[in-house]
Structure 1
Amino acid sequence: MSLKAYQATAQRAENPRQTEYRLFGQVTRALMDAELLDRSCIRERMDALDWNRRMWSLFGNDCARSTNGLPDQLRANIVSLSIWVNKHTSLVMRNKEEIRPLIEVNRIIMQGLLPQTQSPPETGDTVRQSYG
């Protein structure tokens, strides 16, 4: 099956929460891989950090719109997290902070995106297995 056919099938079968969960899983896995790299692997680390920042910027911008259907407090929280992610990412890129807090925030969001009947992933290995 081609990649495009798979993506089209996945889009029809997933609801928005599942799609967001899958995206968070992929981005978080990239951050986890980047965290293990030596700081001299600048390009690979920057790619993962930039992907995470762009994802959060997208969510933050979407939640800043009055047409967004989420509750106001949740929208405000997501906008605040987006701003924090942007600032923290800049510090990580300048080697003044660690990647781990970005991973932890993403994992917390992923837990919130899970249906209540599903148990959250307990380790980073679970995220890797689910999306790798």
Structure 2
Amino acid sequence: MSLSAYQRARTLVETPRATEQRLIRDVTAALIEARDMGYSGGRLMNALHWNREMWDAFANACGAPGNSLPDELRASIISIGLWVNRHASDVMKGRESIDPLIEVNRSLLEGLAEGRMAA
């Protein structure tokens, strides 16, 4: 089966939660690679930017009218998204470690896997 056929088939059968989990795992893996390989400059920025894009998408979805998540959870996700943006900037400037970004993503994955976060 070709890669594009596989991706189409996966999209048809994958639940939204599974899609989110796969995205978070992939982004987190990119952050871990950036840390472990000692990336800097553009390579580090690519991983940080991808993480920011993911959290921006989550925050925007939580701020959208009709989002069915509980208000407290939506506010928390928006707040984490803002923190991710600030922290990523500090990582790029060499003032902070990338590890807290990895840990936040891992915590989110745990919550999704355990079903603690309503879909």
The TM-score with structure 2 as length reference comes to 0.91
Residue 2 (structure 1) aligns with: 2
Residue 26 (structure 2) aligns with: 26
Residue 36 (structure 1) aligns with: 36
Tell me: higher relative CO, structure 1 or 2? Use CA pairs within 8 A at least 6 residues apart. 1
- Shift >2 Å, 4+ stretches: none
Quick check: 1:37–1:45 contact (8 Å CA) kept in 2? no
Q: Aligned partners of 1:100 and 1:115: how far apart in 2?
A: 22
- Which range is displaced more, 16-25 or 4-13? 4-13
Structure 2 CA distance for partners of 1:115 and 1:11, relative to 1, 3 Å: farther
The TM-score with structure 1 as length reference comes to 0.82
Runs of at least 5 residues in structure 2 that lack an aligned partner in the other structure: none
Q: Structure 1 vs Structure 2: percent identity of aligned residues?
A: 49
Q: Aligned partners of 2:31 and 2:108: how far apart in 1?
A: 15
Q: Aligned partners of 2:75 and 2:65: how far apart in 1?
A: 11
Runs of at least 5 residues in structure 1 that lack an aligned partner in the other structure: 117-132
Quick check: 1:60–1:82 contact (8 Å CA) kept in 2? yes
SS for the counterpart of 1:96 is: coil
Q: Aligned partners of 1:73 and 1:3: how far apart in 2?
A: 40
